[in-house]
Each structure stands twice: as structure tokens, then as C-alpha cells.
Amino acid sequence: MDTVKALSTHPEHPPLYYLLVRIWTQFWTQWFGNSVAVFRSLSVVLSILTLPCLYWLCAELFELSLTRSLILAIVAVSPLHVLYAQEAREYSLWILAIVLSGAALLRATRLQTQASWKVYAATVALGLYSHLLFIWVAIAQSLFVFVHENFRHSKTTTSYLRASLIGVLGFLPWVLVAIVNLSQLGKIVDAAIKETSPFYLFFVWSRSLNRVFLSADFDASIDRWSALDRWFRNFFSDYFQVDLGFSQLILVVVTFASLYFLGRHASRRTRLFLLTLIGTTAIPLMLPDLILGGTQSTRIRYLIPAYLGIQMAIAYLFATQINTLKRLHKAIWQLGLAALILGGIMGCLNDLPQQVTWNKDSKTEDYLSISQVINQATDPLVISNTSAIRVLTLSYQLDADTKLLLLDSDQVPQIPTSFRQKFLFDPSDELLEQFEKQQIQTTPIVESKIQLWRLPM
């Protein structure tokens, strides 16, 4: 219950993943200790489980078996999926819920049995308890059902509404928690409202697409050797003030080509499902940013459902073209597929040794620089009144014998004199004022989003 109470002050994070992590770590720490690897291993398992569920989803969508194999290959080497499979956050569970819910819906509409609709209802509740943005996935699924049924009252729409209602009712307790803490959700939305240009948004969206397939850091290190890439970057920089590389442009073209091909050649059921998934989960984030200004759509993790749909559309395009009888045509598309898969593998290998990967925010670098200063100190003491999550994050970077003095107020504590070097980690302004009032000198060492100050010896 203490986990739920802690999360209730952050309603943007539904509790399911964190409850699972707690149960998981309590079981495995008996044998492997309280290590970071144990915390992250649940995400790894959930990501592995996503692959057979994705195969099931594509079996419901596509008749061509090659499409199912290609989507597994594309997702398995996607830098986006590989990085979030290592994160002790809810995104691996959310991806699993998106895929599982889609497969369950398609199966239920095909079989029309009570059991299949009950499974779908359970996946709706699972998705909502994994991430709040699953709401857009649920809306996409409702659009798919109603458009597919031509907005007629039918057995399918009745069964769907009943199953969806059951799933949403299961999520009602957390809806009440979110209503009570509505101000916290408002702060998150307000923090994402910034003045942005359409050209900048287009650049970030194309860069995010690049990261789904190739990893932007690896792509940049390769592309800058190319004269053609330098020309593209100079052109877009001069006219649109964005740094757009050749491979980013190619991926944008391939994406639109795959969506066009999907709309023209896929079955009505398949194209409706994928286009509603992509459009309904991307447009509500992109359009407000374009019109009002904002950065919600620049956060790659928020658009994961849309990127999953794009990956399936691209897999369908390549599988269909490779399945042709024309040898030259087939060879060209096989070469393109090999480049895409190899690019993903190289991108993942490039990300592997990085301490700070592209999916981390700038605060991660602050933790590294702060921990280096503290670990190089002799007999250090770290004093802090910041949030528990920040202290916990820093603690994993510190030497095991480093002592922490954690405060629950803004008052200057009784500081032990036995430590040779003393630090203030991310103190509040009020705590710094109290030190100043008591004429205790504080010297800034790291001044960034997260701060480190030195106290006199």
C-alpha cells in the first residue's frame, strides 16, 4: 500500500508497473541482492514477452507470414525498444499492453465469443493501468470498431462497448486519484508549453523517427562523412534553421510511402486498424504543439503507439515488395531491408557503451558529474533535502561507503565533524538561506538542473 500512496501524488504514473517491480524485486533480491540489474530485469522480461504478442497481432492483421517475421526483426533491433527494455520505467509494460490489447481486439471481432471479449476487457484495464496515454490507444480502437462497422448498431459494436466499459470501470479507482491530484497533472502539461517553430518540430519528429530505426547518435557519426549528407544538412540549416540529415529524410520518405502503400493495398480491416492507431495517438499531441506551441510531441516515448504502427506499416511494405516474382525488384528491396536491419543493429551497438543515451534528459549528466566529484573526495558526507527519487538515483552512482544525511525540513542539521569533506546535494533555496543566516559558507560546484554545493571542512 505504501507504493500506491507514494504514486498517488503522481497520478500521471499509474501504479501497476511499480507494484510489479516491488513484487519482482522482493522475490529476486533474495538470490541476487538489491542491484540495479534486478530492478531493470522486469522490463527486459516484459519486452521479450512483447515479441510473441506482436507476432500474434500481425497474424491477425496480415495474411503474408513474411510480414510477421519482418516486424519481429525490425522491433528486435530498434534502438527505441532496446533502450526502453533496459529502463526501470513503465514503458515496457505499456508497449506490451498496446500490442496485447490490439491483438485481443482483432481476435474478439473475428471470433465474436464472450471469452474473447473478456480477454479484451482485461487488456483495456491493463493498458490504462500501465500508462495514462493508453487512453488514446483505446480511442483509436473505438474508432476502428465503429468505422469498420460503418457506425451501425451491430453485435460487434455492442460487445465492444460492453467490454470497453468493463475495462474502464476497472480503472475508475485511479481516475478518482487523478481527479484529487489534478493540479499535479496541470503542472506537467504547463511544463511542456513552450514557444516552438514548425520547422523545429518537424526536425524533432524526423529525428525521433530516426531513433526508432537507426539511433540518431550513430546515424550522425556515419552521415557526417557523406558529402551528400553535408549538402542536405547545409540546405536545411540555411533555409529552415534545422539540422536534417540525409538518412532522416530517407526515413521520412519511406514512412509516408509505407502509409500510402498501406492505404492503397492492405485490406480494409488492416489499414483501418493501423491508420487509426497512428493518427489517433500522434495527431492529438502534434497538432496542439503546431498551433499553440509546446513540446509534448517531441517526447519520443509519448508517441510509442504511433511508432509501433509505423513499424508495422514499413514491415508490410517490405514484405509485400520482397514477395514479388521479379528478381531485380526483390533484390533491391532485400538490400533496403538489410540496410534497415543492419542500421538498427549498429545503432544499438553504438548506444551500448554510452553512459548517457539519447532517451535520457540532461539531468542524467548532472548525476554523473556530481557523483564523480563526491567519489573523488576523501571521507565524504552528502547532505540533502531533495526528493527521495533524486537521492536514490544519485546513490546508485556513489561508492558503497559514502554516507548520506537526509533531511525532511529546510533547517540546518547538526553536522557531524568526523567527515573530512561535506556536500549539499540539490538543496532547496530555503535550506541554502538557512546556511547563509548561520554564516556557513556554501560553495557551488555543479550548477545545473541538479546542483552540488561544498560545505567548509
Write out pLDDT tens, residues 107-161: 999 999 999 999 999 999 999 999 999 999 999 999 999 999 999 999 999 999 9
The Cα–Cα gap between 335 and 329 comes to 10
- Residue 408 pLDDT exceeds 50: yes
- Residue 244 pLDDT exceeds 70: no
Confidence of residue 396 (pLDDT cuts 50, 70, 90): confident
Q: Kindly state whether residues 330 and 414 are assigned to the same domain.
A: no
Q: Kindly state whether residues 394 and 269 are assigned to the same domain.
A: no
Mean pLDDT within 225-246: 52
Q: Kindly state whether residues 261 and 406 are assigned to the same domain.
A: no
Q: Kindly state whether residues 372 and 289 are assigned to the same domain.
A: no
pLDDT tens digits for range 187-206: 555 555 666 778 788 888 98
Count CA within 13 A, CB hemisphere, residue 173.
Answer: 9
Q: ∠ CA(346), CA(396), CA(218), 5° rounding? A: 15
Q: Kindly state whether residues 370 and 338 are assigned to the same domain.
A: no
Q: Kindly state whether residues 261 and 324 are assigned to the same domain.
A: yes
Q: Kindly state whether residues 369 and 330 are assigned to the same domain.
A: no
- In contact, 294 and 192? CB cutoff 8 Å: yes
Q: Kindly state whether residue 75 falls inside one of the protein's structural domains.
A: yes
Q: Kindly state whether residue 358 falls inside one of the protein's structural domains.
A: no
Confidence of residue 222 (pLDDT cuts 50, 70, 90): very low
Strands 421-425 and 443-446: unpaired
Q: Kindly state whether residues 18 and 65 are assigned to the same domain.
A: yes
Q: Kindly state whether residue 243 falls inside one of the protein's structural domains.
A: yes
Q: Kindly state whether residue 112 falls inside one of the protein's structural domains.
A: yes
The four Cα atoms 207, 209, 215, 221 give a dihedral, to 10 degrees, of -40
- Residue 366 pLDDT exceeds 90: no
Q: Kindly state whether residues 333 and 420 are assigned to the same domain.
A: no
- In contact, 365 and 425? CB cutoff 8 Å: no
Q: Kindly state whether residue 356 falls inside one of the protein's structural domains.
A: no
Give the DSSP H/E element, type plus range, for residue 71: helix 65-76
Domain that holds residue 71: 2-351
| Boundary of a domain, candidates 331, 351, 371 | 351
* Region of poorest pLDDT, from 45-49, 239-243, 376-380, 438-442: 239-243
Q: Kindly state whether residue 138 falls inside one of the protein's structural domains.
A: yes
The Cα–Cα gap between 324 and 322 comes to 5
Q: Kindly state whether residues 345 and 392 are assigned to the same domain.
A: no
The Cα–Cα gap between 273 and 143 comes to 9
* Count of the separate structural domains present in the chain: 2
Q: Kindly state whether residues 393 and 291 are assigned to the same domain.
A: no
| Boundary of a domain, candidates 321, 351, 381 | 351
Q: Kindly state whether residue 12 falls inside one of the protein's structural domains.
A: yes
- Residue 360 pLDDT exceeds 80: no
The Cα–Cα gap between 415 and 411 comes to 12
Q: Kindly state whether residues 88 and 217 are assigned to the same domain.
A: yes
Q: Kindly state whether residue 357 falls inside one of the protein's structural domains.
A: no
pLDDT tens digits for range 254-271: 999 999 999 999 999 999
| Boundary of a domain, candidates 316, 351, 386 | 351
The pLDDT value recorded for residue 193 is 60
